[in-house]
Amino acid sequence: MRKLKLDELNRPDVEEFKSQEKLPVVVVLDNVRSMHNVGSVFRTADGFALEKVVLCGITAQPPHREIEKTALGATQSVDWIHYVDTVTAVTALRALGYEIIAIEQAEHSTMLNNFTPDKSKKYALIFGNEVDGVSDEVMAKIDECIEIPQFGTKHSFNITISAGIVFWDFFSKLRL
């Protein structure tokens, strides 16, 4: 078996990507501290052709070399916006018709494997701070909470791992 070369992957360029149909999902980063995590979320959002990345609060904004270390140019292809606080972002997204979903461990959460996205809806997926998770103020504003099942000794996944798992799940259920 031979690995494919980059030019054999047939990926769109930035202009083609911007005009292609996107998965009806935006990702909301609620005060994410690590610029490497921010960059990784951009790169993964590009990989699954999400609509937009919404950066909130202390979450770093492009351009920044620490974000680019992991984004590898995805900040150029994926649309993004910054809000001073996440509650304002959630309010704006709800007004645009998005269903607001926190990715969090919470009472009455729905396990990811039991969640079926509705193809007629748009979704805003909120990922929280690496230490504190999705803020309590934001949790009070959500429509639903999805939890990723875990079976080991650790209490949570890194945000970039969580994003990859959830984006793939939504993509596979909505497009495949």
- For 98-156, what is each residue's pLDDT tens digit? 999 999 999 999 999 999 999 999 999 999 999 999 999 999 999 999 999 999 999 99
Residue 139: per-residue pLDDT: 98
Tell me the two tokens of residue 26. 């935006």
In this predicted model, what pLDDT tens digit does every residue of 30-63 receive, in sequence order? 999 999 999 999 999 999 999 999 999 999 999 9
Q: What are the Cα distances from residue 49, in Å, to 18, 74, 92, 95? A: 9, 11, 21, 22
Mark out the alpha helices in 48-95 (DSSP H runs).
65-71, 74-77, 86-95
The ranges assigned to domains in the chain are: 85-148+156-176
| Fold designation for 85-148+156-176 | Alpha/beta knot (3.40.1280)
